[in-house]
Amino acid sequence: MKNEQALYLVYSLNVTTDQYAAIKPGKPLFFSSKRKAEEVISRYKDLYAFLYDEASQGEKVYCLILETYALDSPFRYQLATRVYTADGRLVNDCLVPDDAPFYGRPIGSIQHQVGDLVEVPCGDRLLIGIVASQPICLCEGEKPYGLTASDDCYTIIQHPDMEINYAHAPLVFKPSRSVEPAVCEALQTALKAYAVAD
- Which stretch of 35-44, 48-57, 116-125 has the lowest confidence by average pLDDT? 48-57
The CA-CA-CA angle for residues 123, 61, 36, to 5°, reads 105
In this structure, how many other beta carbons lie within 10 angstroms of the beta carbon of residue 117?
Answer: 17
pLDDT at 1: 44
Q: What is the mean pLDDT of residues 132-161?
A: 86
The overall average pLDDT reported for the chain is 90
The structure's pTM equals 0.89
Domains of the chain, start order: 1-99 (no CATH), 101-198 (2.30.30.140)
Radius of gyration of the CA atoms of the chain, in A? 18
Cα separation of 197 and 109, whole Å?
A: 28
